[in-house]
Chains A and B, each alone.
Chain A
Amino acid sequence: MEHIRLPKAENVRLLNRLSPRRSCVGTLYLTATHSIYVESETQVRSETWVLHSLICRLEKQVNTSTGSPLLIHCKNFQVLHFVFPQEQDCVHIQASLQRLSQPEQYEELYCFSYKPNVDEAERKEEWSFLNLKAEYRRLGIPNSLWKSSPVNQSYKVSDTYPAELYVPESATQQVIVGSSKFRSRGRFPTLSYYCKDNQAAICRSSQPLSGFSARCLEDEQLLEAIRRSNPRSDFMYVVDTRPKLNAIANRAAGKGYENEDHYSNIKFQFISIENIHVMRSSQQKMLDVCELRTPSMANFLEGLEGSGWLKHIKAVLDAGVFVAKAISEEGASVLVHCSDGWDRTAQVCSVACVLLEPYYRSLKGLMVLIEREWVSFGHKFSHRCNHLDGDSKEVSPVMDQFLECVWQLTEQFPCAFEFNERFLIAVHHHMYACQYGNFVGNNQRERQQLGLRDKTHSLWKHLWDTRGDYINPLYRTDNCQSQGVLRPSTAPYCFKFWSGLYNRFDRGMHPRQSVEDYLMAVREETVQLEEQLASHKEQIEKLENKPEWTGEAEEGPPLSWGLAPGGFVPQAGTPQDYSGGFIASSPCQQRSPVDGLAFTPPQNQTSEADLSVGSEQESGIADVSFNSQLSEEGPGEPDPDDAAYSAA
């Protein structure tokens, strides 16, 4: 609370970027965890909640005649444009938010103060919802080829690796420790994924400390052991996911990549995915394009190309496809690494898993995959997501890219995934929101020290409990898309701009009717009908078997489907919540108050987006940005004015 310099600012205007006419006036309140904007002059109480941990950048703009503008850029790509009548208010709010949004210690994060109405036993239970040991067992591990290794039990060998690791049966402790000394951060080659069908495995590590000529017998032995753990193949791939030039540059620093001459039976392959700095600046460029006020098509496409974002997404997917092919078609094991083995390596291994195994395309499967490849293997969430006030050079949208790769795949294979876009966006949201403890800290050791399992709640159980919101109605387990290996096309035209995420809060841009919501409503109704059918049959049977008429006709439940599906489906003309269900007041979303997506906290509040369309009878007239040349000629003055049509 000591950070709040001004708890409340009045007569603050919230501008609507796409439709200026929908801007509103209200009061901004600051609390310890959220900023709450309450609109005045509306019949329905309308609130916009902004979680402070989601704020990524505050931009104070030059004062205008109407006041002092403050732009709040959020990590979930929401941009709030406030205008304060008093400059002093603006300055105080900015300073307060600056501090509130960048905690200095973990303990200040929202997850430590977030206390939903759940008792302690239940809370503990949440954390056992996902069990990685069970996941490895599901993969058939341990077995005669792979064993669990206690070597990292107390994080001595690698402080960024999990305690539980799986290595080839023949790998001795001495080999592992030796290899770990030859790898950055001690991240020696270890099992990531094992393909039961053909015994090929994906392993992951960091780069070897080979410099220009160094070699390490134990490391070579460990790779050989990995290769031999796949008896059907006489070679294995080593995939370095960095651009070759970067890898070569690392040699000068005593790091580098495997020399094919030193390792027996390996095929070495570079797949260039750029580093975190390139990705950070690429995403920023793309977001700048998203935020353009009224971009022309050329502005947008040029900007998108210039950002390079889709090129990078394609690179990650291409790498995943390479690994998946090696496993499924060549039956060869693959060792994947980059520099430290916690960014690109995590991306490539997890994309490959999604392609290889249908399980990872299910709701729970994707959770497990993220838990294994990202959380347990030490993707530095706190650094990459900038949870604490830290080094801005450590920030990078690495996990964003993985989620986007999955989204791109869902676009190509609409029936192959159990979850929908909303689920991916929810994961993205929570990765940054710090409402749950899952993504706090940079590795398992840190999380243990923070006592997250004892003090915070787990996201996965929560997502599972609300899974109704995240189901893809087109998913069919018996469908050929959802079985076996996915073989996506990675031709450039197959990649789309993900406006559902990056323009998530610009609701006017999204389709006004959702096929998915429609189908979910139909399916819900179908379930009801099935029940009715059964009960009617039963009643008829009863009546027919009854020798005498009793006159006590049972009144069946009212026919609820009379309205549906039309009743469920947002009519085109009355814009509804298409934002992906994150807005608490959406008609088909009954969320518990503790649910933390977007601005969700207690009470019934609507988002700014919701209210803005409240009374509009028809869809989004103001979203059509008509900039037209109006010709208002005076005598002898044929030049047209440049004016917005709506001013006419």
Chain B
Amino acid sequence: MEFAELIKTPRVDGVVLHRPFMPTVEGTLCLTGHHLILSSRQDNTEELWLLHSNIDSIEKRFLGSLGTIIVKCKDLRMIQLDIPGMEECLNIGSSIEALSTLDSVSLMYPYFYRPMFEVIEDGWNSFLPEDAFKDLEAMTDEWRLSEVNRDFRVCTTYPPLVAVPRDVDDDTLRKAAGFRHGGRFPVLSYYHKKNGMVMMRSGQPLTGTNGRRCKEDERLINATLRPGKRGYVIDTRTISVAQQAKARGGGFETEANYPQWRRIHKAIERSNVLQDSLVKLVEACNDQSHSMDRWLSKLEASNWQTHVKEILTTACLAAQCIDREGASVLVHGTEGTDSTLQVTSLAQIILDPACRTIQGFQGLVEREWLQAGHPFAQRCSMSAYSNSKPRHEAPGFLLFLDCVWQVLRQFPCSFQFTEQLLVLLFEHAYASQFGTFLGNSAAERVRLSLPEKTVSLWSWVNRPQEIDHLSNPLYEPNSLVIWPSVAPQSLLLWEGVFLRWNRSPRCQEEAHEEMVHIIEYNKELQNKVNSLRRQLAQLETQEPPLQTP
């Protein structure tokens, strides 16, 4: 087995582990192919099992022969291991570094992981496009499921089945694909049942500098408009960025060629800018200086909250066009795999109550992120502590989760799930025993045989005990559109992720327990009263007792 070569010292005794808000543990450190394990070998103390893939970077320090390794994780936790013996420490350090940066996907833990729980429903089949389309069919016959992308022939980042206007044939789609970045021709993202308006997404049109046009593309998106109606194109880039894109063959829908569409430019930042923000934000959160000025200026300089505000505002805008203006919307940025998905998925959270349930939210992540071709493997290969220069890394998905948290905070009774589900998805997107977030697209997931060889995260989440754990006790289904406030005063730092390891969770946990207690006690009483009421009714209608013979 290849791992053995990488593990120079598989075991060290007398290692001391320091973790935030937990007692220090002394025990034996073991390295396996996928885990760093520390066990005190006593029954009652907790062990540490840390996936190597969760390790973002490490730092080594020496004081005499005592070595210390600071392990910085992708979930933003930092743990410290005091290792006696300089050589052991160096060996452990280099092994961790090698094991946490394995190149080959097939060596990743999900390929080795065997579930210790009973799989009730295979998560790989939980959210199939066919099933989602059935729901759509029940509402409208204006759309069809096209197989034009079978075997990923037209677009490598789309799933094999996509929803397109009924009256547009596959040939038109193929031609339109040729005119869109990455072959990402406009497809249906969301159908608003209330008024039949739709949200579509795509890659940028390839107009180039000489204003190329494509009749099929125009026909395709015009086919989504009702007669006499106008639609909105929401370009997630500023006008100047969109202009510059022309020089590289990209561009935007011009008024002349798309007279029925009105274009709105927003300013959602791109990958490396976002990654830089994350690094700065996390650094600010870990600053020990205790100076308020420093904290606020670092928080501001990270720009993280600015991104949250911009993304949320754009999503609200899309939702507003659909719900209030009664207009259909096409959303795209450059590739259509990042900011586009942030906007389309958040707009659905706002518009569609179904997306605010536990199942529905998973479905949304599956549809708008996984199937839609967000390149998770590239985006999430490094987190905030990585020392290497970022290539394709970007916390786009984390920003989406942050925005959902903001809406959840403003509407605490309208979501079936708690913040825990969002934190869970953040963790698993970066490091996981499940195969869900491996690969960059549907095509890659097929090539990697993930459904056959790995377990889906959804298989684990959709078990009664886990659902129970993630359920929001305050949930009251709310069928309305929920419009969040995007004022800076209304958008807070997501403590559950960014300050998670800086503050003891105890007080908030107690508050949650108290909340559950209040609600559970109420339910219990309701049941008791109802059963007594039935008993009473029975007694009251009973005939006078008969004499038993």
Contact = CB atoms under 8 A, between A and B. Distances in A.
Interface of A: 18, 290, 295-302, 304-305, 308, 310-311, 314, 412-416, 473-474, 476, 479-481, 489-497, 499, 503, 506, 508-515, 518-519, 522-523, 525-526, 529-530, 532-533, 536-537, 539-540, 543-544, 548-549, 553-554, 556, 559, 561, 565-566, 569, 571-574, 617-621, 623-626, 628-635, 638-640, 645, 648
Contact of B490 (A298, A510, A532, A572): A510
A93 B28 CA distance: 79
Interface stretch (B90-98, B111-119, B449-457, B504-512): B504-512
Nearest to B413: A513
Interface string B266-309: 10000000000000000001000011111111011001011011
Interface range for B: 35 or more
A309 to B, nearest CB: 9
B262 A305 contact: no
13 contacts: A297-B308, A305-B296, A493-B285, A529-B526, A536-B532, A540-B532, A573-B478, A631-B262, A631-B264, A633-B254, A635-B256, A639-B239, A640-B239
Contacts of B413: 513, 515, 518, 569, 572
Given A479-B514, A631-B255, A300 B488 contact: yes
B525 A511 contact: no
Nearest to B495: A493
Given A515-B412, A619-B482, 14 more contacts: A297-B308, A299-B488, A301-B300, A414-B510, A491-B290, A499-B490, A518-B412, A523-B522, A572-B413, A619-B483, A626-B316, A629-B239, A633-B255, A648-B325
A571 to B, nearest CB: 6
Nearest to A568: B476
A565 B476 contact: yes
Contacts, number: 255
Contact of B528 (A308, A481, A533, A566): A533
A561 B526 contact: yes
B293 A311 contact: yes
B5 interface: no
B384 interface: no
B480 interface: yes
A297 B529 contact: no
B502 A493 contact: yes
Given A512-B410, A540-B539, A479 B510 contact: yes
Nearest to A302: B300
A573 B489 contact: no
Contacts of A632: 255, 262
Contact of B482 (A503, A512, A556, A635): A512
A180 to B, nearest CB: 37
B518 interface: yes
B214 interface: no
Contacts of B316: 624, 626
B529 A493 contact: no
A628 B292 CA distance: 33
The CB with the most chain A CB atoms within 10 A, among B293, B483, B503, B508, is that of B483
A397 B137 CA distance: 61
The CB with the most chain B CB atoms within 10 A, among A18, A481, A499, A628, is that of A628
Contacts of A648: 262, 264, 325
A305 B300 contact: yes
A44 to B, nearest CB: 22
B488 A301 contact: yes
B107 interface: no
A533 B482 contact: no
Contacts of A489: 503
A580 to B, nearest CB: 15
Given A412-B507, A509-B487, A572-B478, A493 B295 contact: yes
Interface stretch (B62-70, B145-153, B540-548): B540-548
Given A539-B536, A540-B535, A571 B478 contact: yes
A638 B243 contact: yes
A512 B483 CA distance: 9
Nearest to A634: B255
B493 A493 contact: yes
Contact of A492 (B296, B485, B519): B296
A-B interface, 3 closest residue pairs, ranked by CB to CB distance from nearest:
A573-B480, A300-B488, A492-B295
- By DSSP majority rule, is chain A's interface helix, strand, loop, or mixed? loop
Contacts of A490: 290
B488 A626 contact: no
B480 A513 contact: no
A640 B483 contact: no
Nearest to A616: B483
B466 to A, nearest CB: 23
A449 B493 CA distance: 50
The CB with the most chain A CB atoms within 10 A, among B265, B292, B306, is that of B292
B489 A415 contact: no
A622 to B, nearest CB: 9
B222 interface: no
B30 interface: no
A413 B521 contact: no
Contacts of B483: 618-621, 623-624
B313 interface: yes
B515 interface: yes
Given A479-B514, A512-B410, A526-B521, A536 B533 contact: yes
B281 to A, nearest CB: 11
Contacts of A625: 313, 486-487
B320 interface: yes
A1 B525 CA distance: 58
A539 B529 CA distance: 12
A532 B531 CA distance: 12
Contacts of A525: 522
B486 A474 contact: no
A518 B474 contact: yes
B348 to A, nearest CB: 15
Contact of B265 (A518, A556, A631): A631
B134 interface: no
B225 interface: no
A499 B491 CA distance: 11
The CB with the most chain A CB atoms within 10 A, among B413, B478, B511, B525, is that of B413
B486 A645 contact: no
A503 B488 CA distance: 11
B492 interface: yes
A573 B482 contact: yes
B378 interface: no
B10 interface: no
A639 B238 CA distance: 11
A529 B306 contact: no
A628 B264 contact: yes
B417 to A, nearest CB: 15
A319 to B, nearest CB: 14
Contacts of A634: 255
A297 B290 contact: no
A481 B510 contact: yes
Nearest to A574: B480
A513 B492 contact: no
B325 to A, nearest CB: 7
B480 A619 contact: yes
A474 B320 contact: no
A529 B294 CA distance: 52
A533 B508 contact: no
A639 B239 CA distance: 8
B463 interface: no
A548 B535 CA distance: 17
Contacts of B491: 297
A415 B521 CA distance: 18
Contact of A415 (B263, B285, B510): B510
The CB with the most chain A CB atoms within 10 A, among B487, B499, B510, is that of B487
Contacts of B490: 499, 509-510
B296 A629 contact: no
A311 B508 CA distance: 24
A326 B430 CA distance: 45
Contacts of A548: 544
